[in-house]
Chains A and B, each alone.
Chain A
């Protein structure tokens, strides 16, 4: 087990280094921050001097080494554009993104699981078929279209929910939450809904497939033979056996949602990490881009490691398996 853990940790370090290296490679092609940092009246000498001070004239490998040694100390520097501490900026926006992902996940489970069950047990009915069809549309609509559509209907036409922003927030220590105020709860609904749409269909289809699988198994047949009511069979026996893969998938998807939130945040001006990143790209704000990619990669790596280790604890056969 210890050997497995060490291997897993080394693997995580390797992934992090690769991600930061690739990210750094990409930055070289994003553009030149100096051109954007100085305005029209700056002279060539001032441009060159700023480049030197930022270390952008150093060879690539030197810049990368500097970045990694600083990042290992938790120092990502300050933003080229906002002149604020990068880590502070990201940690300040993390709660917004996390709450959005949390609410979206909640919506996807609350809506997706019942839909999955219904489409499984009422397989041949017209409404189950319709739901199947609609879910395909849900999967294939780009989230910015969904977002704009929701804004059009619920903000402009009906005026029920705000079109942008996070509403009023309450500070609890370093965490800011919008879930405790009315305007915050109203604000989170549309973005969370648009983010969860893809997730709802995923949960629904997973539950449906698992349900069909379980309903064919022997113990359900025996339960039916014993005359247990259908409702009890479906919800107590069958559904419980379906939930394990759903929980695993949901945990694995959280990283994906954090990454996906980028588009939703842009549409709804949700002040989260994704919005910060998109704006950093526009201004070639290298410190922010680098830190964001590393932190998102870290979230992925940690989530995956947790899932792997949990599985390894449950199933010893996996420990020796080579990755």
Chain B
């Protein structure tokens, strides 16, 4: 056994964990699309790109659970890890699921509960970006630098648990860094940017140590180990750049709104009408 936990699915058919992932992702995606349809029928605008992002993210989770992935056992594991822990969470978070839920639920118990949960104190702690980063990247250090990774290959339930944690932590991290949904405490650009920088550095450093030293208790071939750690390094880069672009784009939009507000306040103060044709105003 080389710790190639990913192969037990192929050998024995989908296990309980895979089944839960597929059914769960399917149900959640259906719920999202139905809620978005409800909003549009009511006359609200909801960008179709958010539907696409959410559907693709859910499909990524399904693919990671049952789909074939190229490369040796470690490379395939790393591909799965990238999909479940980074790419899919970013896509799911971009679709603003909490905003959609709050807007599509009719006023009543369910909506009140969700709002209470989003504004609760523990939720406020969880969305503190450094804590989310610690749960996400810190969890990876524990996974690859203790015997947990080797143990995961022997115990299907441990394998399912680890991947559930990777998905949950990835979602939390993307959620707090992007800050697209309304939550109790909204952290500023500096905290989120610094957190992204630190988490990215820790991720890159972990990928480089994996290139040199396999997780304890495993024996992958050198080629597999190198391909897997390079996938982690450059794949991580891609998602980090995408996260940074989301953060920067939201800053850009907010700055534009501030400029327009200041400009119109200024013109009101001078007692003039706003010039309609000033291209610099944007919309």
B is a partner of A:
no
Interface residues of A (CB under 8 A from B): none
Chain B residues close to A by CB (< 8 Å): none
